[in-house]
Amino acid sequence: MADWYYDDLRQVGVDFEDTAAVAAYDRNQGTDAAAERTLLDELRVGSGHVVIDIGCGTGAFALEAARRCRTVYAVDVSAGMLAFARRRAEGQGLHNLHFRHGGFLSYGHDGPRADLLVTKYAFHHLPDFWKGVALVRMKEMLGQDGRLFLRDVVFSFPPAEHRREIDAWIARMAKPSGEGFTAADFATHVRDEHSTYDWIIEGLLERAGFRIERKVRWDAAYTDYLCAKAA
């Protein structure tokens, strides 16, 4: 690997190797198996499908996906998250669920080309240049009719509005310590992680060879993209 290549195995911002952060994640995030099943329905994931989930975290989506599709590759840079997700899967007989230690830039997919690549709330860990590299890699992991589902913190307000919008986002989302992600967690996200504007994400998707088929803007801070290969 070239000496200029980004090391995506190191934690950026919130440390998801921290045992306490892993243990508190589902409560903080409001992880909900029923919501993961609804998403799988919306994405029309079927029994023949191969699914890759990058930044799988505690594995909630990957486990639900494994119950209804052929094979799931659950990928994360955090050994702690993977251990948690493995424990969750244990005893459920999900022999089609494969955990892999790696990231957007370091995971080498050696399975069949995927029908669906999902990444939720993880892509913002990469700086924008490396998001572009990661999208090219993800496109290569997909079969010809494969789709990419990207859900993340995506800012869709004018740059000049950043102070008001970021303050409003934190005020809307932050919870007291012990109940959810705190204002300090959101501040870490904005300061140390790499969430960016919708027009940057959309430009990167298109230049990496994706066609945006559906965009759902939840609010000024969250957006979903469902994409197909452009060619």
Q: Which residues bind ligand SAM (CB under 6 A)?
A: 8, 16, 29, 31, 54-57, 76-78, 81, 103-104, 120-122, 125-126
Min CB(25)–ligand SAM separation in Å: 7
Buried b (16+ CB within 10 A) or exposed e, 89-125: beeeebeebebbebbbbbbebeeeebbbbbbbebbbb
How far CA 18 is from CA of 10, 21, 43, 116, 215, in Å, comes to 12, 5, 32, 29, 33
Min CB(158)–ligand SAM separation in Å: 26
Pairing outcome for strands 222-229 and 114-120: unpaired
Nearer to ligand SAM, 117 or 227 (CB): 117
For residues 74 and 52, give the distance between their C-alpha atoms in angstroms, rounded to a whole number.
6
Amino acid occupying residue 131: K
Nearer to ligand SAM, 87 or 164 (CB): 87
Nearer to ligand SAM, 75 or 164 (CB): 75
Min CB(229)–ligand SAM separation in Å: 21
**209 torsion bin: left (phi>0), alpha (psi -120 to 50), beta (else):** left
Residue found by looking up tokens 């994706």 in the block: 210
Nearer to ligand SAM, 137 or 215 (CB): 137
Min CB(138)–ligand SAM separation in Å: 11
Nearer to ligand SAM, 105 or 211 (CB): 105
For residues 205 and 16, give the distance between their C-alpha atoms in angstroms, rounded to a whole number.
26
Min CB(111)–ligand SAM separation in Å: 17
